[in-house]
Structure 1
Amino acid sequence: MDPELAAAVAALPTPTPPEGTPTLEESRAEFNRVIALPFINWQKTQVPEGSTYTVRDRIVPVEGGGIPVRCIVPTVEDENATFPVLFHMHGGGFIFGDIDLDDYYLRRLAVDLRITVVNVEYRLTPEYTFPTPLNDCIAALKWVVENTSDLKADLTKGFILIGDSAGGNLAAVLAHEARDDPFFSGRQPTGQFLREPWLAHPDSIPERLTPHYRSMEENAKHDLPLAPTRAGLDGLMLVYKPPLTDPRFCPLLYPSQEGLPPAYFQAMGLDTLRDDGVVYERELRAAGVKTKLDLYPGVHHGFHAQFPTIPIATKLWDDARKGVEWLLRGGE
């Protein structure tokens, strides 16, 4: 384990095991207490001056209702200025998280990179099962295309999908769906940023690729916070309910990976999901897609949110900005 991370983990208070099986509300409250609120408090130390951006929440119509999207637009002297777009989907295993989870960090990116950010609050499982979260994001992506004027957006300057963990799954699948949907003809995403993405269940991996998936077994022996386990993924499949053979859950199963936008990956060395990103990057590269992979040794899934100030997390945040810039240059 990375030595600074090991020290930070060792300093954590010993958790008190819950009595009985926690309810969904209790589990979400614990996620917010242990992960979301400390992460948000750190982000607040990074937030730019309020005069440098505007924030507006909108409701995107979806089947059965509407979902919030938070739009962050840089403020510049030129009132006619337009910006590329960063389309963001939060992590949380499709069960946890909302648009507040990464909000202040995204405000920082919007200002520093002069990019409009659209942050999506897709509906969560178990209240909403597959493919509702994906369909919500597709509806929001189409909403962006139809509302570029309101967003001061110019999609020809960049249209980047970004997601962490479950959000990385959605970003990878959206890249495929937009590639194949005539609605996006001439307005397709120009890049995808997949951080520690969950892209397959062990039982959905194509047989030819199973020898390359070693991280689930290699890293299962580490008792690490936030580590996805085989049992945990099995439980998530039971509530999210994606068919194992559906490429909208496992993008490795699409007939072709060709024609996708450049892809930037961040993968964690001790993550049981490490090879989801590593193998998918290799597959995209083999299909002629421009790719860039940053692999962080000695760290686990979600470490950057739990310990955002340790040196390797600082490097991850710096690399993330460079990764977006690389995507804005078309992978050059």
Structure 2
Amino acid sequence: MLPSSLDPEIAAILAQLPSPPKGSMTIEERRAGFAMAVAGMQKGMESLLPNESEYTVEDHAVSVEGGEIRVRSVVPKGGEDLPLLVWFHGGGWALGDLDMDDYYLKILSVNVNISILNVEYRLTPEFTFPTNLNDAYAGLKWAAENAKKLSASLSKGFMVGGASAGGNFAAVVSLLARDDLFFKDRPLTGQLLIVPITVHVDANVDQYRSELLSMEENKDAPFLDADTVRYFEEILQVSPEDPRISVLLAKSHANLPPAYVQVSGLDPLRDEGILYEKVLRNAGVKTQIHVYPELPHGGHAFFPTTKNSIKFNADTEDGIRWLLSL
């Protein structure tokens, strides 16, 4: 896939903003910058929010090893026996929180008429891997055990989803759940993988080398560059070949739930998303994939009112409907 030019609408917006700082940043500086970007994202979504009378929101506590995490349910008003989507936020496993996708998930829940459980997990580097993954998996199990409390019926649909590092978690927990007797009678029915991380930047990928070019081609991409990917994967302190991050390298991808994959063209992660869909499809998994050549990583969320982002987010909703139709 040839490198793309930046969406002109997004380019015009970025030209009005201050240039991002150059050089190394502390995790605190990265979090502060990310929080500002999230605030801007939410401001852009305000006009898209459904009326508060159209949904209910409730926070719950989930016990995990060494403490507890919060999860937040979003349920369309009057909904009952709804399909369930368990969501994991992005942020390189080190940024973000339960609030960052709050607006987005309210919109998604009402538009598609599904129950959504947003799972917060403890962040690296304060909590070492696999604490955050274990938290995400604990949230998934809690959802399975408390579907009725969430106005959901797993027989109507039981999906996992997320963007970026959250997409990585969605793919990884799909593998874990496939092999876990806990889920034998309540299997996952779909994966929503939005601009996902599927292989560690330092993993041995010789067999795929010719198909993984975007980390170099898009190394200086706006919003997420290759150095930033490397930073977050390094502070995670996980073996690059561990399938709990490099899900692309799992021994088998057979019998995984159907996957809807979305990939941004101006993204260092572009090719690993495209390749993961191919690997799933070759393993007999039902898949759909859409690629958006002009969008940078996260552009669909941070610039939600541009033409390409509107298309991306409408496709997400249709992708969920497709997963529920199978």
Q: TM-score range by the shorter chain?
A: over 0.9
- In structure 2, the residue matched to 1:58 is 60
* Superposition pairs of residues 145-294 of structure 1, within 5 angstroms: 145-220=144-219, 223-229=220-226, 231-294=227-290
SS of equivalent to 1:87 = strand
Q: Give the counterpart letter for 1:315 in structure 2.
A: K
Partner of 1:29: 32
Report the CA distance between 1:22 and its aligned residue: 4.2
- Report SS of the residue matched to 1:314: helix
Q: TM-score, normalised by structure 2?
A: 0.94
Q: Please state how far the C-alpha of 1:236 moved relative to its aligned partner.
A: 2.2
TM-score of the pair, normalised by structure 1: 0.92
Paired AA for residue 217 in structure 1: E
| Counterpart-to-counterpart distance in 1, 2:265 and 2:32 | 28
SS in 2 for 1:45: helix
How much has 1:204 moved relative to structure 2? 1.2
The share of aligned pairs that are identical, in percent, is 47
Q: How far, CA to CA, are the matches of 1:104 and 1:232 in structure 2?
A: 26
Q: What's the secondary structure of 2:280's corresponding residue?
A: helix
Deviations 1:10-53 (A, max 9, x none): 232334x47x85443232112111x1001112222222122222
How many angstroms apart in 1 are the aligned matches of 2:86 and 2:193?
12
Alpha-carbon contact 2:92-2:233 (below 8 Å) kept: no
Could you say what secondary structure the match of 1:204 adopts?
Answer: coil
- Secondary structure of 1:135's counterpart equals helix
Q: Is the 8 A contact 2:72 2:119 kept in 1?
A: yes
**Is the CA contact 1:265–1:277 (under 8 Å) kept in the aligned structure 2?**
yes
**What residue identity is the alignment partner of 1:38?**
G
Matched residues in 2 for 1:123 and 1:58: separation?
15
Instruction: State the match for 2:318 in structure 1.
Output: 322
CA gap 1:246/1:22 in 2 versus in 1, 3 angstroms: closer
How does 1:124-163 map onto structure 2 within 5 Å?
A: 124-163=123-162
Superimposed CA distance per residue, residues 192-228 of structure 1 (whole angstroms, 9 cap, x where no aligned partner): 01111111123314321121101111222xx433223
1:154, CA displacement in angstroms? Answer: 0.4
CA distance in 1 between partners of 2:244 and 2:161 (Å): 16
Does the C-alpha gap of structure 1 residues 3 and 24 become closer, same or farther in structure 2, counting only changes over 3 Å?
closer
Instruction: For residue 149 of structure 2, give the secondary structure of its aligned residue in structure 1.
Output: coil
- For 1:21 and 1:267, the matched residues in 2 are separated by 27
Comparing 302-311 with 21-30, greater Cα deviation is found at 21-30
Question: Which range is displaced more, 102-111 or 280-289?
Answer: 102-111
In 1, Cα distance between equivalents of 2:263 and 2:241: 24
The letter of the residue matching 2:130 is P
SS in 2 for 1:202: coil
For the residues of structure 2 that align with 1:263 and 1:148, how far apart are their CA atoms?
22
- 1:69-128: per-residue Cα shift (whole Å, max 9, x none)? 00111222x7xx311101111111111111111111211221222211100111111111
Provide the rounded CA distance (Å) in 2 between the counterparts of 1:145 and 1:285.
27
How many angstroms does 1:134 deviate by?
Answer: 0.8
SS at match of 1:70: strand
Conserved 8 A contact 1:228-1:273: no
Please tell me the residue identity of whatever aligns with 1:224. Answer: A
Instruction: Extract unaligned runs of 5+ from structure 1.
Output: none
Q: Is the 8 A contact 1:201 1:233 kept in 2?
A: no
Which residue identity is paired with 1:26?
A: E
- Do 1:46 and 1:108's aligned partners in 2 also have CA atoms closer than 8 Å? yes
Does residue 1:8 correspond to 2:13, yes or no? yes
User: Matched residue of 1:299: which SS?
Assistant: strand
Q: Are the counterparts in 2 of residues 47 and 107 from structure 1 also a CA contact under 8 Å?
A: yes
Instruction: Tell me, in whole angstroms, the C-alpha distance in 2 between the residues paired with 1:6 and 1:234.
Output: 25
Name the residue aligned to 1:313.
Answer: 309
Range 198-207 or range 153-162, more displaced: 198-207
Distance 1:233 1:105, change over 3 A: closer
Please list every run of at least 4 consecutive aligned residues from structure 1 whose deviation after the TM superposition is greater than 4 angstroms: none
Cα distance in 1 between the residues matched to 2:203 and 2:240: 5
Q: 1:138 to 1:282 in 2, by over 3 A?
A: same
Indicate the SS of the match to 2:148.
coil
Provide the rounded CA distance (Å) in 1 between the counterparts of 2:85 and 2:13: 32
